[in-house]
Amino acid sequence: MSAILTLNSIAKSYGKIKALNGVSFEVPPGSVFGILGPNGSGKTTLLSIILDVLKADRGNYNWFGETGSPEQRKKIGSLLETPNFYHYLSAVSNLQITSSISGRGNPAMMDLVLQKVKLFERRKSRFSSFSLGMKQRLAIAAALLGNPSVLVLDEPTNGLDPVGIAEIRDLIIELSKSGHTIIMASHLLDEVEKVCTHVAILKKGDLITTGSVNDVLVDDDLVEISAADISALETVMNNYSSGVKISREGNTLQLIFPKGTARLEEINNYCFSKGIVLNHLLFKKKRLEAKFFELTNN
């Protein structure tokens, strides 16, 4: 099956500020696709463009292999802003109003979407009595009206406590398993790592990289070594392997290997064969945060 969404050189500026600078990527069907980047990287602008809230200055995009249209839009549920419901009305009454305004869904669907987001038992409770996580789940229920095949979510866990974040993460995974393709923007690396299958990383409107999460956010092997003569050690290690990145921090060398390739015994034997005795040899996993900062130079 062709891509659910294809972006071709999308550009958008606000005066002298370039919000998006020729962004192109594809969203595979059935994926949980994370658009990841620091605040101000262009994530919300990008989502607003693909949902026809904003117009791009340049470039185009296709939904389901075709140019966007009102009919195509009916296949897409979205949550772009903080949930905006009537505080004095119940969950089901708020959904009925949303359905009436959007023309999506029917009375029978209200119970179904509330069951999906685990709010059915609270369907008659006032919105004002909900926790932040419950309010966010109700907003996702509203996005599910009409049974869209695609959900577009902007920072779905923003402002939630750890319990609320876990609830939304579990819900996204369940919705993905039930057949929805999900596109979500986030500035939280941990969120993308835990729920997304694919990712595009933005920085100040530029696409840094895109691909599967396992390929883009691979956690490399990190080895720390040291010796009495750190300069001699650095000279020796520069000839160790072309696939190893070496940096010096004080009296310690940091060696970054592709995931699963670091061999401490081989490093120790190599140094000893060159007349250097190591006084420090430590294996670490390179944190994903470090990889993210490396990609964004942040």
Identify the CATH class of 1-75+149-217: alpha beta
CATH architecture of 221-296: 2-Layer Sandwich (3.30)
**Residue 177: Cβ-neighbour burial (10 angstroms; 0-12, 13-18, 19+):** exposed
pLDDT of amino acid 259: 77
The CA-CA-CA angle for residues 178, 136, 210, to 5°, reads 60
Q: What does the alpha-carbon distance between residue 184 and residue 167 come to, in Å, rounded to a whole number?
A: 16
pLDDT of amino acid 103: 78
pLDDT digits (tens, 9 = 90+) for 254-295: 898 887 788 999 999 999 999 999 999 998 765 556 666 666
Q: What does the alpha-carbon distance between residue 261 and residue 263 come to, in Å, rounded to a whole number?
A: 6
- Domain boundaries defined on the chain: 1-75+149-217, 84-146, 221-296
pLDDT of amino acid 297: 65
DSSP letter for each residue of 240-257: T-TT-EEEEETTEEEEEE
130: Cβ contacts below 8 Å, ≥ 6 apart:
91, 122, 138
pLDDT of amino acid 286: 58
Let me know: does 251 contact 279? Beta carbons within 8 Å: no
pLDDT of amino acid 285: 61
Q: Report the DSSP pairing between strands 252-257 and 221-227.
A: antiparallel
How far is CA 92 from each of CA 130, 171, 203, rounded to the nearest angstrom?
A: 13, 19, 40
Q: How many CA atoms does the CB half-sphere of 206 hold within 13 Å?
A: 6
pLDDT of amino acid 288: 59
The percent helix, strand, coil of the chain (3-state, each to 5) is 35, 30, 35
Q: What does the alpha-carbon distance between residue 252 and residue 246 come to, in Å, rounded to a whole number?
A: 10
pLDDT of amino acid 249: 81
pLDDT truncated to tens, each residue of the chain (298 aa)? 589 999 999 999 999 899 999 999 999 999 999 999 888 899 999 999 999 889 999 999 999 988 877 777 778 999 987 778 999 999 999 999 988 888 787 777 889 999 999 999 999 999 999 998 999 999 999 999 988 999 999 999 988 888 889 999 999 999 999 999 999 999 888 888 889 999 999 999 999 889 988 777 766 788 999 999 999 999 999 989 877 888 888 889 989 888 778 899 999 999 999 999 999 999 876 555 666 666 666 5
Let me know: does 24 contact 8? Beta carbons within 8 Å: yes
pLDDT of amino acid 24: 95
